[in-house]
Structure 1
Amino acid sequence: MSSDRPALPPVRLPSDAELARDALVAPLLARAVRLARWAGPDTRVGAGGELIEEQLPAAAEALGLDPDEDGAAYASEAWRVAVDTGLVAVEDPQEDEHGGESGTAEAGDQLALVTGGTPQDVLALWLDALETALADATAPLIDDLADLVGEDGELDLDSLDWDPQHEADFLDGVLGNLYLLTVTEGGSGDAPVPLPALAASMIVPDDMGEPTDDVLEQVSEAMMRLDDQFRVLEPVGLVEYQPVDEALMAEEGEEPAPPADDEDVTRYGMVRLTPLGLYGVRARMLEAGVDAPAVGDLTEKGADALLAGLAHYPEAAARAETHQWLAARGAVPAAAELLAAAKGADAGAPLRRLHCQQALTLVGADAEPAVRQVLDDPELGGLARVWLAERGAADVPAPPEPMVFWLAVDTIAAQLHAVGGGDSEELRELIEGLTSRHGGFFDAAWRVEHPATPEVLEAIGRLHRDKAVAKEARKAAFKSRSRA
């Protein structure tokens, strides 16, 4: 995974204990655990640690499967996971009585972690199992192994049209896109994503209008490869997957074209990351150096880190993060720390104060003593009065006029920062509401001792829908800059 991806929105994950329970019931890891408990002195493995063919029927039966070809395939896959995760320990093969080489296997040290380890231990086991599943998912599809055997009797993998790094990078990109759709507010959330849309997100250029036939063919090929890969990844618990309807293969040929507008898109495959899958993809991103935060990351950090971090969080995630941060502290010390962190004249200070105000709405009335401490502070006094008034507190002093206009400028500056200096309907409504609420707004506003006063007045002049008011705002902005 590329480490130069932009920072992602924070993901909301269940507790480690809940995730560990999900990991232990994932079919692939559960089968690996059962085989590790089944392994004993009579278990024989090949030179690569794989179960010898004669052992596969018994392994399938140990898993409660029929000892047929399918059962043997499931057993072989689970055994490979057991070996790769250390649930099984394999001894070096020795020459057997028939002149061949075979080794033995027994339960490995990691097996004890299944029942005696911490949730983090279990999740580490699952991540190892995930790596094995991902390797299987990106392995080449071989219809006839005999076709790859060279004249010297060795496998000729170079004859395959297969680039392992390209395959791994492509699947990582797909999982990254699926993760982003899940964690981005306004995206798909927990809803499954159509396989054609996911394939197109990797193939179709962003600036392409109508995809060409060549691009559509590439999307179809990618869909079918992803169909195979998600079938492999579902048993490890990474995804929930509804496969491509096999009837489409007969209708359209081996690779059905992407659906037309009037077709049932669910027939072309639907996929979603499970909570465990979100955990797994995030863990791999973090290992690759990608900034992939999770709600709860800021709980142990100070209010300055909380307010700075919330500037990049969607609303629901910001609220959840703040709830966790407050739950770890008492009302009075939490409010005092938030208010202290909200002070400042730097460019980010207005947004910090906005997030401070939003955080304080989640604090109970017990925080009143800390809030009253800042009533006379020129930067926080207006915010404090709003908080007290909303709770019906008694004896809230009326704000002096300079504080009223300072708070109005600060509030608009915060919203401007939040939208990156752009435009939004919410920002327009805020501007129009504040300017209409105060008589002679611009006569007072241009004198406000706030670093963002000129910027705010210019924004009002740009965004206000009343042309006369907008003109008045631009004049006030000129006066403010001249005064500065």
Structure 2
Amino acid sequence: MTSRTPREPRLRLVPQTPTQRAAAGRRASAGRRAPTPPKGVAPQDELARRARAILADAVRLAHWAERTGTSPDAAAERAADELGLTPTQVREHWGRARLAGLVEHSAASAPVRAGWRLRAWDRDDTAALRGWVALFDAWSLARPAPPDADPGTLADVVAAVPQLLSVMQLSDGPVTGAGLIDLLRRRISELRADRDPAERDAAERDTAEVVRLLGWALDTLSSVGALTLHARSHHPERARLTELGSWAMWTKLEHICIAAQSPAGNIEQSAVAMLRGCANLTPGPARAEYRAWLAVRPSGPAVTELLNAARGEDALIRGLAFEALRVVGAPALPAIRAAADEPVLRPYALLWLADHEEGDPRDHTDSAHGVLTRAEETWLWVDTASAAHEHGADRVLLDHVDAAPQPSVVELVNEIRTCGHPRTVQVLLALAAAHPDPAVAKRVRRAAFQVHTGGA
């Protein structure tokens, strides 16, 4: 069935297939102009060349894994011998390949499949840059933290690093180690005071641990090519963003500035509040809000917060949470694979995974038909119909019928009755009240009554 509404609706109810997303992406990109980078930022082809150089061994390893069908996790010695690397280097570069989205994340014994970035790596600068940015966003996973680190202080340091990087980008020059330590301590004090005012001075008491973890953070960021580091003994003396790091942080700050100037301004809000603030935005401005919200948070905690929002009772928030997770990209992959085992999140997670594995829509024209079973499609239809009922109007709910997997209302109603969604009755009653055909409305009301009473 085709949509009765020719324009793009404010309320997006059904997650798009990769093919639909491709068409929307082409329309959006044709109608907007990317902001101009500041003077001194290298052109995109030069940035892509640097990204390819940083990830060269990860790309070699990913190609080897795809060619042999073997995960280096299970054959590190073999991969090391054939590629001229050490087993330690194999493990490091394989981790980078996964964080950069070059391969699909899978168990050590499962066959390896290439991601779209690996397939487009040599011919598409965008693929190289997106892969490096995914690695940069997941920097805290690129190198293990000290095993004896205090978990609370470690989490605070990871959360504070984006602000340090922003200061480094805005300073347009090297930042001293003493300055970074001072910035980090102040930011950690702010984070702890937000949780508990009594913790405001806690960063002063564990300065040695903060300095040690700052060294780990800077070393890790340096290893992924985000900054250059000059150290003396075990302490950072000064650090400066690389051209790639400066470009990535400029992009993030640009997203924040654009969103801060918008009516929504949801950067400081919780995930649920941010998503509610985006509910009435069209997809383009909504994505700008998602990017801004994500830019000031470490990717791991942000993904967790978005998934927790998706687990709530509001189906509209659930759908918007997965739209925001599409902006996250590869760093969200392990968490969303795990979420696919949860019945409430499964249809959204499977569509996200299909979209992610299809990769750049420009490279694919296949549909996502077959990603969901018919029962999962029906459950998803009811979930999104409940969003239409609660947040939309009768017209929106009727238009949503066109997105159903069934060719007729009769078949739709018959399958809704057995889908097991907790809001089936409410959706059927709302559909009966909105439907203009009295006979159809009567049939739908009867189905709602039967579901309510447990009848056949």
The interval holding the TM-score normalised by the smaller chain is 0.3 to 0.5
User: Which of 1 and 2 has greater Rg?
Assistant: 1
Q: Give the TM-score normalised by structure 2.
A: 0.36
Query: Which one has a larger percent helix, Structure 1 or Structure 2?
Result: 2
Q: Give the TM-score normalised by structure 1.
A: 0.34
